[in-house]
Homo-oligomer: A and B are copies of this chain.
Amino acid sequence: MDNVTQKKNAVVLLSGGVDSTTTMAIARSQGYNLYALSFRYGQKNTMEIESAKKIAMALGAKEHLILDIDLRAIGGSALTDKIPVPKGRSNEDISKGIPITYVPARNTIFLSFALAMAETRGASDIFIGVNAIDFSGYPDCRPEYIQAFENMANLATKAGTEGKITIKIRMPLIRMTKAEIIQKGCELGVDYGLTMSCYDPMPDGSPCGMCDSCLIRAKGFKKAGIHDPAIEKN
């Protein structure tokens, strides 16, 4: 049952938010050894790395690698550049088009590092918490993008090319609503009090409550009929 040597290894992209944390709990429930990967990429919310550390520990990751890649030099996003994060947008506005919080090629960059980590840790599976239902409209959260990345990944690597490993990009949340994601995580015992979703926290580190990410989170907890323990804390 608990034969560690038979477990497969998985790299899990962990931002410290609801989606990546639930994804990691799902990977754990499927019996993988967990190799968590997070980034300090110049994001305005630097608190999320502290959340990610606690989550990786709580979920028993074998390794938690935190890489520094400064995307501020690339710019072009409200999350990394001197552009204000939009606040208090309506549901209609949130679901319209690609917002200014989009970080150019961010998931491609993150998945590329995950691919390198997978190759060196003998992992065939990469988990990413992308979601195409209750999401911010980012192009690199759609299933057709993930599928194209997977095709590329198997041509890119020594492991893929030599046929020893077929790289699979797992996206267990892709067709779930935010409420379903939260319910699933609660079933798996996730402590959402550890998670941090805000794009642009207050000076004291608490979530702003008004950015798209805070609003989508609040709506998800409400629909799930669950009180958000991260709000309770503040």
Q: Which residues of A does B touch, CB under 8 Å?
A: 65, 67-71, 73-76, 98, 102-109, 111-113, 115-117, 119-120, 139-140, 142, 144-145, 148-149, 151-153, 155-158, 160-162
CA distance A162 to B139 in the complex (A): 9
Residues A104 and B157 in contact in the complex (CB < 8 Å), given A74-B113, A112-B109, A151-B151: yes
Residues A102 and B158 in contact in the complex (CB < 8 Å), given A68-B70, A76-B119, A117-B74: yes
Q: Name the residue of chain B whose CB is nearest to the CB of A75.
A: B120
Q: Nearest 7 A-B pairs (CB), nearest first?
A: A105-B116, A76-B120, A148-B152, A104-B119, A139-B161, A145-B155, A104-B116
Whether B157 contacts A139 by the Cβ 8 Å rule is: yes
Whether A104 contacts B158 by the Cβ 8 Å rule is: yes
Copies of the chain in the assembly: 2
When distances are taken between beta carbons in the complex, the residues of chain B under 8 Å from A149 are: 152, 156
Q: Name the residue of chain B whose CB is nearest to the CB of A149.
A: B152
In the complex, how many angstroms separate the beta carbon of A15 from the nearest chain B beta carbon? 17
When distances are taken between beta carbons in the complex, the residues of chain B under 8 Å from A76 are: 116, 119-120
CA distance A106 to B145 in the complex (A): 20
CA distance A161 to B104 in the complex (A): 12
Whether A145 contacts B139 by the Cβ 8 Å rule is: no
CA distance A104 to B111 in the complex (A): 13
When distances are taken between beta carbons in the complex, the residues of chain B under 8 Å from A65 are: 73-74
Whether A107 contacts B152 by the Cβ 8 Å rule is: no
Q: Name the residue of chain B whose CB is nearest to the CB of A77.
A: B120
Q: Name the residue of chain B whose CB is nearest to the CB of A144.
A: B155
Looking at chain A's contact residues, the main secondary structure is helix
Whether B139 contacts A160 by the Cβ 8 Å rule is: yes
Whether B119 contacts A139 by the Cβ 8 Å rule is: no
When distances are taken between beta carbons in the complex, the residues of chain B under 8 Å from A68 are: 68-70
Contacts A98-B158, A104-B116 supplied; 4 other A-B pairs, CB < 8 Å: A105-B119, A108-B156, A109-B116, A139-B156
When distances are taken between beta carbons in the complex, the residues of chain B under 8 Å from A140 are: 155-157
CA distance A157 to B139 in the complex (A): 6
Q: Name the residue of chain B whose CB is nearest to the CB of A140.
A: B156
Residues A113 and B109 in contact in the complex (CB < 8 Å), given A68-B68, A102-B158, A156-B145: yes
In the complex, how many angstroms separate the beta carbon of A27 from the nearest chain B beta carbon? 20
